[in-house]
Structure 1
Amino acid sequence: MSNGGSAAAGGGAIYGIGIFGAIVYYWQVADGFWEHVGAFFQGLVWPAFMVYEGFQALGA
């Protein structure tokens, strides 16, 4: 019997690629040392920003 572990691993890989892509994006638009440091952390928590902006757009 399978517990679906392989499906979770695939989702984790996609999430990891998204984090890497977000870090690259924020890194490219950063200007200065501290903005580059912030870009790294923004890339790690980009889903929180996305959800926040989505709720703001819905007026929630």
Structure 2
Amino acid sequence: MDNGRVRVVEKAGPWGVVFLMAYIGAAIYFVSRSDGSFWGVILGLLQAAVWPVYAVYHVLVLLVA
């Protein structure tokens, strides 16, 4: 009998730690480059969330140039 339980099997758990560490590192980098104002820190945290987009963009610029 099921008893209404749901079993969730997570097979990519270790990758979550890697992505968390990458976000923390990027957040430290972008916040340290900000001017220290509230909105500068918020912008740094948002940039840390999308830093792979910056990396891909700069790689493509290097490939095209």
CA distance in 1 between partners of 2:62 and 2:10 (Å):
34
| RMSD over equivalenced CA pairs, Å | 2.1
| Identical amino acids, percent of aligned pairs | 29
Per the TM alignment, residue 32 of structure 1 is displaced from its structure 2 partner at its CA by 3.8
TM-score, structure 2 normalization: 0.72
**4+ residue segments displaced more than 3 Å:** none
Rg (Cα) greater in structure: 2
Residues 1:56 and 2:61 aligned together: yes
Amino acid of the residue matched to residue 42 of structure 2? V
TM-score, structure 1 normalization: 0.77
Structure 2 gaps, min length 5: 1-8
What is the aligned length? 56
Per the TM alignment, residue 48 of structure 1 is displaced from its structure 2 partner at its CA by 1.0
- Residue among 21, 31, 34 paired with 2:25: 21
| Structure in which a larger fraction of residues adopt helix | 1
Residues 1:36 and 2:35 aligned together: no
